[in-house]
Structure 1
Amino acid sequence: MKSEKFYLKSEVYFEPLLNNWYAWPYLLPPVTGARHIVNTHRRIMQSFVKNYKLHIVASKESVLTGGEFLNCTEDQVSDIQELIDELDNKCGDLIELSDAVKHLDELLYNHTSGESIEYLYAEVPDPLKGCVELFMDMEHRPSYRIIEPLMYKSSYYKPTLQSLSFGLLSKVGERPFVLSTPRLPDENHLQVKADFNAPIVDTIFRAREKPISSAEIDELLKDYEQSGGLFYRDLFTTEKPILNHVPVRQGVRLTYTGHAGFLIETKDVSIMVDPIIASREYNDDDTMIGYSELPETIDYILITHTHMDHANIETLLQLRYKTKKVVVPKNNGGTLADPSLRLMLQQLNFDVMEVDDLEEIEIPDGRIVSLPFLGEHGDLNIRSKTAWYVEAYGKKCFFGADSSNPDGNLYEQLGKIFNNLDVLAIGMECVGAPYTWAYGALHTKKVPKAIKNSRRLDGSDCDQAVPMVEAFNAKHVCVYAIGLEKCFKYFNGLEHEEDSRQVQESTKFLEACKQIDVPAEMLFCKKTIHLK
């Protein structure tokens, strides 16, 4: 009798955890991770223990989703206190590393003479000794760079803090928001104490398309500590995926994968931009593209920038087994606010290529080009950001993600080189969060309210996006559905209402494109565009 084979269910969702918190790009680099663990995680947990009733009330208000309120119950106060105690006991060195950043900032802040700073090397706090270079800018202001490879080789990089969490959509209905609450074991989830490079990770996700036996499933997890009420066999089914990949025979096929993601395919190559794939409760749910519909091999994953909704570790780990190369923008080299995507993804066993502005990668009958990307980072000196130009079989596409356009001169210059686009895709997240939402934990001094409100994570509005369409002479325009797809609320937080400025500006932009005879559409959930 032939033994049954099992597939990973389409409704399984996965959360990579670090110290029980959802892992996003700024948690993995040791220095930025230490700052967030101490100044965000510990602070929020301490606030919950001190005033849990406020957190419980706030977490039930949908308008406060995304705020710094733990979504836990009164019964879990002691559990959260245990996490605080564990952090203090087991991660004391990370607390010291976070404090060292503050101390070093203070040393440099107090050096105002503009004279040599070599004497300060002796005063660098122990956790950072030998891992930083001190320097002066051209206006004689001191600063430093972190020698990031050394930090990844040090004891401060802790894969032992990593773990895996699995859930089923049928159990929870809607995925809970991921950024403000640590993951405690519960009846609806399975937590596995394994790091992100454990062999089981690729094996489990490969089972979405290549089934495994019950014996193989048992063998997979027998050596790993498990917690939670979900049984590991509940993650698997004998049902084959109903929706599968359809190969491209000719031309170029663009598939919108949701949020700001695209799959670009020809008969020779498959490329994904900023992939985030939604889990689906039903095997035949065709509203969103699922993992089973992706090609057997992904030749390139292109990442536009380090924000978690673009460099999404959750999805990247699920695609790792079939991905040949990840391409990321060039990094500044050791600044606190701009950790290296290349180094981070290399720790996760990806083959990573870093490219500079206008650098090209040759593909069959085409090329990939990294284009400069302005805005969306609160005026911080973030080098790790790029838009992507993909040309194949004579078809030209621009994927702008959250590109803003505060200086139209840039696109006038680019439009002279990259013109007559077949497709221009752009986000209209024109009212972003204050930049401190992502970078606040890295500051060592309080940021004034006026600065927070002024410097935001804004993308383009209509007035900024139209000149891009004109400069590139685009034939077709696509607007990402950022904030509109409910399946991504678990990391977006708030949903955009019809009267929100983001929606209004998108509508205005679509109308403006119509006025200049350029077809334009708002993408939503799943969309396929054939360029022949």
Structure 2
Amino acid sequence: MTLSLKGNVIAEPAVAGWYAWSYLLPPHTLAKYWQNHYRPLVESYLANPQAHRTALKQARFRGGPFVHERDGSYEAIKRWYDAAAERYAPLTELAAAIDEFEKTILPAQTGASMEDAYQRLPEPLAGRVEMFYGRDNRTPDYRFIEPLLYSSRYFDSGYQQVRFSVVHQDTREFALTTPVLEYGPEQVLVTVPLDSELLDAVFRGGLTAEELDRVVAGLGLAGERAEVFRTFFEQDGEPPVRPTGDVIEYVGHACVYVRHRGVSFLVDPVISYGGYSGGAPGRFTFDDLPEHIDHVLITHNHQDHMLLETLLRIRNRVGRVVIAKSSHSSLVDPDLRRILRVLGFHDVVELDDLETLETPGGTITALPFLGEHGDIRIRTKSGWLLDLDGSRVLFAADSTNISPQLYPQVAAAVGKVDTVFIGMESVGAPVSWLYGPLFPERLERRIDAGRRLRGSNFEQAAAIVDALGASRVYVYAMGQEPWLGAVMCVDYDESHPAMVDSGKLVDYVNALGGTAKHLYLRESLRLRS
């Protein structure tokens, strides 16, 4: 008899007490989010919990800086936060050093030699940053020497945890603004490095009783907490029978699974759970994945496209991760390859614009990705073009066609594309919603409102389709699947601009004799016409 996790057991990763996403792994970005976002958020809640309760009664505030409560939340969060100041003091120290550097030392550099400035760096940054001028020889900038930050006391794998619990429905509560604690006896929070092989053993399953005992002991569980953890496992039945033919399957949000000539691709993994009644019928769950996934493709480094909760769950199955090439090592664009290695992924390939990776029966090509990042210097983003024996599929994610000349030139370089997946969240959140804690100064409201994390509108998306000559177009990455509620808060009706724009695009392509659809939940699609 062997045992594996039940299908409805979720494992939520956390860093420094908060639901983990990729910017909480690098020490410098974690420090800024801790100091400028998470501390003020929890202090606001502890000072006036009723204000948070009142705000969350309105749907428009559910993605805002408000704590989602349950019974006993206040006392649990207060106890945790009373200990947090000392526990996370290094993060506070690093954030203060970055503030001093960005607000005082760096602005003083106006063209003269920077040699003296290195002698004034605060200790947390000394030897860990490089300063330089832009080509105008006046504008100062810098990069972090990230490996030295990861090897410093500011990176602590002891900050990393996983909370195990059970879900009974598709809908997930927004997770990014509430401390990840044990709020009841049915939850088990373990402190464990996120790259731990113990987690691979848990998620791989097929454990004997003795092996499970060793995992329980390795996770530091004993007594009642150990017994609760064991209830998350069940006896293995017959393994599921998985199809072996070529397929392209929409999984939900921006996640698409492709199998061609026995080679598997998974784009922007966000997988739903199973094992409970009443969920969306036929939804794609972890049980539908193959035992081995050859290539995981990440379009960009946002929570809904690089979801750590899913990535850790499937790590034991993944061969290679493919990402956009980037070496900025900045606060807003940390090294994604290094983040993935901290998460336990060691075969990571970076592709620059129009670079190609050979696969059996085809290629993966990186295409330029503009927009969706609020005009911040982000390089870690790419559309992915799969050529599968001549059938060509583009996963454009939230690419925004803000430069109308781009896609005609892309088409001239790579040729016609048969199928386009395009995100059309055409309004999007203000840039500060995600990146605000990393800015040295608060943006003016009017500027913030004008710089959006958005995908293409109808006119922009239609121009992409026309330039690439696509005959099949699928609108995706709209955040509508209920399990996306953990990291997104969208509330569309038919009059919402995103729905209007996507409807126009579907009508436009169909009127031209093509095939188009706004995807939702799950859909099996043709690989070829």
Q: Which TM-score bucket, shorter chain as reference?
A: over 0.9
Does residue 300 (structure 1) correspond to residue 298 (structure 2)? The answer is no
Give the 3-state SS of the residue equivalent to 1:134 in structure 2. Answer: strand
Q: What is the CA-CA distance between 1:225 and the residue it aligns to?
A: 3.4
Q: Give 2:407's match in structure 1, choosing from 411, 414, 419.
A: 411
Partner of 1:160: 158
Partner of 2:84: 87
Q: Give 1:103's match in structure 2, choosing from 100, 119, 124.
A: 100
Does residue 436 (structure 1) correspond to residue 425 (structure 2)? The answer is no
- Greater alpha carbon shift after TM alignment, 27-36 vs 350-359: 350-359
d(CA) in 2 for partners of 1:142, 1:246: 56
d(CA) in 1 for partners of 2:7, 2:239: 10
Give the 3-state SS of the residue equivalent to 1:295 in structure 2. Answer: coil
Measured against aligned partners, the alpha-carbon deviations of 1:83-130 in whole angstroms (never above 9, x if no partner) come to 323221011111010011110111245426422222111111110100
Contact 1:48-1:69 within 8 A present in 2 as well: yes
Partner of 2:341: 346
Q: What is the CA-CA distance between 1:58 and the residue it aligns to?
A: 2.0
Give the 3-state SS of the residue equivalent to 1:128 in structure 2. Answer: coil
Measured against aligned partners, the alpha-carbon deviations of 1:255-312 in whole angstroms (never above 9, x if no partner) come to 1111101111112311111111011243897532111111121111111111011111
Percent of paired sites with the same residue: 34
Partner of 1:259: 253
Partner of 1:279: 273
Partner of 1:10: 7
Does residue 504 (structure 1) correspond to residue 500 (structure 2)? The answer is yes
Provide the TM-score with structure 2 as the length reference. Answer: 0.94
d(CA) in 1 for partners of 2:273, 2:429: 26
Q: What is the CA-CA distance between 1:365 and the residue it aligns to?
A: 1.8
Does residue 206 (structure 1) correspond to residue 204 (structure 2)? The answer is yes
Structure 1 residues not aligned, in runs of 5+ = none
**Correspondence list, 1:421-432, <5 A:** 421-432=417-428
How well do the aligned residues superpose, as a CA RMSD in angstroms? Answer: 2.0
Give the 3-state SS of the residue equivalent to 1:93 in structure 2. Answer: helix
d(CA) in 2 for partners of 1:60, 1:395: 48
Partner of 1:19: 16
d(CA) in 2 for partners of 1:19, 1:479: 36
| Distance change in 2, residues 1:63/1:106 (3 Å) | closer
Code of the aligned partner of 2:16? N
Q: Give 1:478's match in structure 2, choosing from 465, 470, 474.
A: 474
Does residue 28 (structure 1) correspond to residue 25 (structure 2)? The answer is yes
d(CA) in 1 for partners of 2:6, 2:338: 32
Measured against aligned partners, the alpha-carbon deviations of 1:217-253 in whole angstroms (never above 9, x if no partner) come to 22211232348798112212225378542112xxx42
| Distance change in 2, residues 1:263/1:325 (3 Å) | same
d(CA) in 2 for partners of 1:281, 1:71: 25
**Correspondence list, 1:509-528, <5 A:** 509-528=505-524
Measured against aligned partners, the alpha-carbon deviations of 1:378-436 in whole angstroms (never above 9, x if no partner) come to 00010110000001121110000010100111101011133332211010011110011
d(CA) in 1 for partners of 2:485, 2:320: 29
**Correspondence list, 1:115-134, <5 A:** 115-134=112-131
Partner of 2:286: 291
Partner of 1:393: 389
Q: What is the CA-CA distance between 1:354 and the residue it aligns to?
A: 1.3
Contact 1:20-1:183 within 8 A present in 2 as well: yes
d(CA) in 2 for partners of 1:356, 1:54: 47
Q: What is the CA-CA distance between 1:465 and the residue it aligns to?
A: 0.4
Give the 3-state SS of the residue equivalent to 2:132 in structure 1. Answer: strand
d(CA) in 2 for partners of 1:63, 1:241: 45
Code of the aligned partner of 2:382? T
Partner of 2:308: 313
Does residue 450 (structure 1) correspond to residue 450 (structure 2)? The answer is no
- Greater alpha carbon shift after TM alignment, 233-242 vs 522-531: 233-242
Does residue 531 (structure 1) correspond to residue 524 (structure 2)? The answer is no
Q: What is the CA-CA distance between 1:75 and the residue it aligns to?
A: 4.3
Give the 3-state SS of the residue equivalent to 1:125 in structure 2. Answer: coil
Number of aligned residues: 522
Give the 3-state SS of the residue equivalent to 1:420 in structure 2. Answer: coil
Give the 3-state SS of the residue equivalent to 2:452 in structure 1. Answer: coil
Code of the aligned partner of 2:402? P
Q: What is the CA-CA distance between 1:497 and the residue it aligns to?
A: 2.1
Q: Give 1:459's match in structure 2, choosing from 455, 458, 464.
A: 455
Q: Give 2:368's match in structure 1, choosing from 372, 376, 393.
A: 372
Code of the aligned partner of 1:166? F
- Greater alpha carbon shift after TM alignment, 402-411 vs 345-354: 345-354
Q: Give 1:237's match in structure 2, choosing from 234, 249, 256.
A: 234
Code of the aligned partner of 2:193? D
d(CA) in 2 for partners of 1:274, 1:177: 19
Does residue 137 (structure 1) correspond to residue 131 (structure 2)? The answer is no
